[in-house]
Amino acid sequence: MSPSAPDPTPYERLGGERAVRELVDRFYDLMDLDEAFAGIRTLHPASLEGSREKLFWFLSGWLGGPPLYAERIGHPMLRARHLPFAIGVCERDQWLQCMSRAMDDVGVDPALQRSLAEAFLGTADWMRNRPG
């Protein structure tokens, strides 16, 4: 009996580097263009290029692909890095809605999208640093 192949990672299921980049770009395009995300847009610098790169690097490793963020910057320390920004329920929900729309727009498989949405919710809720 031969050992079974490991299950594909979310990174692989999503489509690898190109798909992660496409998701991140759509996420920040939506944030930059849609008033529904104005609250979280104001938490970012005028140029989103650095934010795009950091989220791409982070998601690459978080999804089971190359650990680009850790290689370039070190441990993500997400909560600590986000403490300077007021993140409450409204900001969390805007971030989640923006990512959900980005996943829809780039055609993420619905089953993978549900799984990622659940994981994103846990992480986004953990990032809150103010009530409400």
pTM > 0.85? yes
The phi, psi pair for 129, rounded to 5°, reads -130, 15
Spatial CA neighbour of 65 closest among 56, 74, 52, 76: 56
pLDDT tens, N- to C-terminus, the chain (132 residues): 556 888 999 999 999 999 999 999 999 999 999 999 999 999 999 999 999 999 999 999 999 999 999 999 999 999 999 999 999 999 999 999 999 999 999 999 999 999 999 999 999 999 999 987
Q: Determine, yes or no, domain membership for 4.
A: no
Counted domains in the chain = 1
pLDDT in tens, 21-54: 999 999 999 999 999 999 999 999 999 999 999 9
Cβ(73)–Cβ(120) below 8 Å:
no
Q: Determine, yes or no, domain membership for 70.
A: yes
- Domain interval for residue 52: 13-126
Q: Determine, yes or no, domain membership for 61.
A: yes
Q: Read off the CATH number of the domain in which 105 is found.
A: 1.10.490.10
Q: Determine, yes or no, domain membership for 107.
A: yes
24 class by beta-carbon count within 10 Å (0-12 exposed, 13-18 middle, 19+ buried): buried
